[in-house]
Amino acid sequence: MDYQFKQIEKEWQKFWAQHQTFKAEVDTNKPKYYVLDMFPYPSGAGLHVGHPLGYIASDIFARYKRLKGFNVLHPMGYDSFGLPAEQYAIQTGQHPAKTTETNINRYREQLDNLGFSFDWSKEVRTSSPDYYKWTQWIFMQLFNAWYNKETDRAEHISTLIAKLETIPATEIKAVCDDDVLPLLPSDWSAMSEEEKQSELLKYRLTYLKESTVNWCAALGTVLANDEVKDGFSERGGHPVEQKKMMQWSMRISAYADRLLKGLNDIDWPEPLKEMQRNWIGKSEGAMVSFELEGHSQQVSVFTTRVDTLYGVSFLAIAPEHELVASLTTPAQKAEIDAYILATKKKSELDRMADVKTVSGAFTGSYAINPLSGEKVPVWIADYVLAGYGTGAVMAVPSGDQRDYLFAKHFNLPIVQILDAQICDTEADPTKEGRYVNSGIINGLTYKEAVAKIVAALEEKGMGYAKVNYRMRDAIFGRQRYWGEPVPVYFKNGLPYLIQEEELPLLLPEIDKYLPTESGEPPLGRAKDWKYQDEYEYELSTMPGWAGSSWYWYRYMDANNDAAFADKDKIAYWRDVDLYIGGNEHATGHLLYSRFWNKFLKDMGYVVEEEPFKKLINQGMIQGRSNFVYRVNDIDGKGTNEFVSYGQKSNYSVTPLHVDVNIVNNDTLDIEAFRNFRPEYKDAVFIYEDGSNSLSAEDGRGEAKYICGHEVEKMSKSKFNVVNPDDLVERYGADTLRMYEMFLGPLEQSKPWNTNGIEGVFKFLRKFWKLFHDENFNFQVSDAAPTKAELKALHKIIKKVEEDIERFSFNTSVSSFMIAVNELTDLKCNKKAVLQELVILLSPYAPHITEELWKLLGNRPGTLSFAQFPTFNPVYLVEDEFAYPVSVNGKTKTNLLLPLTMEPSEVEKVVLADEQIQKYLDGKTPKKVIVVKGRIINLVV
RNA sequence: GCUGAAGUGGUGGAACUGGUAGACACGCAGGACUUAAAAUCCUGUUCGCCCUAAAGCGAGUGCGGGUUCGAUUCCCGCCUUCAGUACCA
């Protein structure tokens, strides 16, 4: 029979499911390999053709590793808590769990269509109580932990309590809030239980704190920094404002340095690591305190250029800074108030777009330079961010451009501090030369100056060296319904954990998925939802990233209800060897996951410091839209006439999107177009050849309407969404799998273009034909392969292995085509060759190869665990080589010579060659370069 | 602005350590088969010049330089596109 992909694919998908072919069990006799995909959020739109790209690549790799003798864990699941299901619930009243279930089923169906080798017995769903029980459990561990800088790891809170009982709190090296009390052991023991709890909260790795948050009124929730884009929410594009709220936070900043260092040990794309480095934003500098004239408080600033301290001509503090009110003199009050009001009015977006305008206001107060004793004015300015450093800067106009502009604008002094510094027209941040106008560091170089200034500040108690990070602690709460409940209740305003045995804390049912009338989160609607019928539960839920920050461990032991995963299983599977996903998760998911992983390692629950050893970003698949061109009449109004792409320059036209699914290789399906919309029913066309009737005059076939095209985002409104199911229906999963790989390098973003899928389909048919005679009877021979056949085979063995190892799947598809073309030309139907080829191709096209494997007489289903063919270089050895002969680097001709011939001998033959003499034009070459087995170059 | 990635035929792309640029595929053109079409198969296809043809000549990997016998590949400068980030003190 001809290649019947539909029947073959259904049959094998059923077989794999029934036999649980890909179920992975711990097997200490085999090396493990863990291949993971970033699990999807099951949206209502289903999978489009861009989603499976990474899944196909990882599936090929997983199948390849199985053939190489590895015990492969290759699971899949769903990140099923999230906003869209809840938005839908608000609109329709339908429970998000129900929508989610429907969407998951659809996803599963689509995934099953593609023949992935997932171990579905280990499926996880973050929204299932069996799963979020353990997300809550990890939250509890974080609550019960603090970060000890001495041991450089997280520890149980009990070790902190032990310290507080024995040593002064000031001697405890902890990552904690700034306002921890300087308690003595006696103070601690004198505290009430509640006072103690309140103090411990300042140390816990997850803690409740009043913080400035990104509040999105339209979504009714708080967003993380990475969910805000240019002052608008990433999802939905609603405005976001700064607001103070009590919020759960995760002390990820405790891990800043380890998160930074760990990047050196993992095999991730360099750009991705760079993004994380920038996000963590480590900067080394110093804290400097300035006394304030007439006040008891001080202002401290963070600076990376403590050497410029003598160049400070004013202090600038954020309008939100806590000292603004007390620093403002009566005379300046009106001006300051007006400025603060103006700043608040400006939206985040304006403030960013408006980088060039200098603005600020003088408080009327003065600060004292700790080293020079000089009086400098204190200003407020919106270029100083409340959220970074201390929310105050020491302004050095000679060395910092923003300070420079500010000083120019407000006529403040600009003091040169280095002899090599040129700051007549702009700031000069270089560190060259020796210091001038700089008190104790005059005449010194940069390096000497920094050390001396830090020492002087430390001696006076006015400053110290400090490392600062841009990364803030992560907000860990959403005022939303469809997320994990936080396992916390409140007693006298203080948070307490519920008991571990009481997990999971189930998401309660509510009547509407909206905030309460008093503005509390939706959980405030739950009736009689109280801990021990008495205490209020936490009403916010966990953010989207909670469930995805540890899910790869759950796959190891998905059905365990005694632990998030069994210790022995974690000890076997350890970490993810290969992780494939989009790079939109660079600073969110991937950073939080590394953080939780390090914490779990500190607490002894897992074994590896880093969760994802190797990571690959698959490129985004963009949409490729098609256009028809509607002709406008003289008044510019649209007509019902459409002109083909090549003829459109002769008319005034309006381009209109047309559904890519009724366009084939940019040729419009006229019939389908007429049915696309009622108003097109009687459309008139001007075809590519300029004619306006379907059949050309000479009867040489049909005229064509050619569409224009453009690359855009894949979206419904642009009619460029391509559904994988349609392509599977037409060409089969094996063709789609190979075509997605054939499209180009995995990491590269590219527009989806179905043109060309035929080529891959033809290839598979040609491959099928190798095993069949003209009448499609299965027929292979047991004869011994010829030298040429073995050469073709071993060439592809070598190529495919090398390509898979470097994730170059597109080139191996080409190589398969070449191999099949060669074997077809050789009329090869030798089992010895074809059977090896079946194994080689099986990771790419698993269905057709399973079928042929069976037809070749092997036990069904054993292909997945066959042995990957071994490359033997003997078959590729050549004894002759057609040397390209070039003159001055330009190739002129080829010369067939034995490979054993030595270069000196080659040179002689070349110079004697009649043909080559012609190119030399009678001249004697100055030099002859012979690279054995490569090239001959004559220099004239 | 800063950081990163990338620019190769009509299109997707290949060329892995500097060694025959354009593999493989799409599209297109021509042909075979067919009453016809679809499907299939064969031939050609970087551009320009020359030519009945065979053959030949020249240019060519974003642009301008450099290193080298030889550069898509290495170095310097510039341009364009995409992504991330954005007053970070």
User: Which domain CATH number covers A899?
Assistant: 3.10.20.590
Which single residue is written with the structure tokens 């999963």?
A733
Quick one: A613 and A626 in the same domain? no
> What ipTM was estimated for this complex?
0.93
Q: Are residues A522 and A567 in the same domain?
A: no
Q: Output the distance from A931 CA to B19 C1' rounded to whole Å.
A: 8
Strand B nucleotides within 7 Å of a protein CB: 3-5, 11-16, 19-21, 23-28, 37-38, 40-41, 57, 59, 69-71, 82-89
**Nucleotide closest to residue A744 (CA–C1'):** B13
Residue nearest to nucleotide B1 (CA to C1'): A355
Asked if A66 and A864 count as a contact pair (C-beta separation under 8 A), the reply is yes
pLDDT over 70 percentage in chain A: 95
**A547 in any annotated domain:** no
Question: Which domain-ending residue is among A830, A845, A872?
Answer: A872
Work out how many domains chain A is built from and give that number: 6
What CATH number should be reported for the domain holding residue A859?
1.10.730.10
Q: What is the pLDDT of residues A713-750, one digit of tens each?
A: 777 778 888 889 999 999 999 999 999 999 999 988 88
Locus of tokens 């070598």:
A798
Is residue A480 domain-shared with residue A457, that is, in the same domain? no
CB-CB neighbours of A879 under 10 Å: 7
User: Domain check: are A419 and A301 in the same one?
Assistant: yes
Q: Is residue A85 in a domain? A: yes
Same domain, A134 and A156: no
Query: Could you tell me which of A66, A76, A39 has the C-alpha nearest to residue A804?
Result: A66
Can you tell me the distance from the alpha carbon of A862 to that of A639, in angstroms, rounded to the nearest whole number? 62
- Nearest residue to B39, CA vs C1'? A762
Tell whether A204 is covered by a domain. Answer: yes
Together in a domain, A760 and A846: yes
Task: Report which of A140, A142, A157 is spatially closest to residue A599, judged by C-alpha positions.
Answer: A142
Domain boundary among A837, A856, A872: A872
User: What was the pLDDT predicted at A355?
Assistant: 60
Chain-centre distance for alpha carbon A899 = 49
Examine the domain organization and report whether A332 and A292 are in the same domain: yes
- Based on the fold, state whether residues A463 and A481 are members of the same structural domain: no
End residue of a domain, out of A424, A453, A469: A469
A566 and A649 together in one domain:
no
Q: What is the mean pLDDT of chain A?
A: 88
Confidence band of A1 (pLDDT split at 50, 70, 90): low
Which phi-psi region, left, alpha or beta, contains residue A505 (left: φ > 0; alpha: ψ -120 to 50)? beta
Tell me: do A823 and A858 sit in the same domain. yes
Look at residue A147 and tell me if it is in a domain. Answer: no
Provide the CA A749 to C1' B38 distance, Å, integer.
35
In this predicted model, which residue has the larger pLDDT, A678 or A190? A190
Q: What is the CATH number of the domain that holds A394?
A: 3.90.740.10
Is A133 known as a binding-site position? no
**Mean pLDDT over residues A495-517, rounded?**
92
Range of the domain at A791: 732-743+754-872
Token couple for A721: 């969404």
A31 and A97 belong to one structural domain: yes
Residue A713, CA: closest nucleotide via C1'? B82
Report CA-CA distances (Å) from A297 to A178, A294, A837: 16, 9, 79
Residue A669 is predicted with a pLDDT of 82
Residue A272 lies in a domain: no
Residue A2 falls within a domain, yes or no? no
Find the Å distance, CA of residue A587 to C1' of nucleotide B11.
35
Residue listed under structure tokens 């006394």: A291
Q: What is the pLDDT of residues A919-930, one digit of tens each?
A: 776 677 778 888
Q: Is the confidence at residue A187, as pLDDT, over 90? A: yes
* Residue A27 C-alpha from the chain's centroid: 32
Domain at A611, CATH number: 3.40.50.620
- A725 domain residue, yes or no: no
Residues A694 and A842 in one domain: no
pLDDT over 80 (residue A898): yes
> Please, which residues bridge with residue A416 across strands?
none
| Most confident range, picked from A61-65, A431-435, A582-586, A822-826 | A61-65
pLDDT for A354 equals: 59
Distance in Å from B16's C1' to A822's CA comes to: 22
CB contact burial A122-159 (16+ within 10 A = b; e otherwise):
bbbbbbbeebbbbbbbbbbbbbbbbbbeeeebbbebee
Tell me, in Å, how far CA of A576 is from C1' of B62? 40
Q: Is the model's pLDDT at A831 over the cut of 90?
A: yes
- Please give the pLDDT value at position A350: 55
pLDDT at A157 over 70: yes
Quote the pLDDT of residue A700.
38
In a domain, A127, yes or no: yes
A614 Cβ neighbours under 8 A, 6+ residues apart:
A266, A267, A268, A577, A578, A579
Residue that wins the pLDDT comparison between A21 and A653: A21
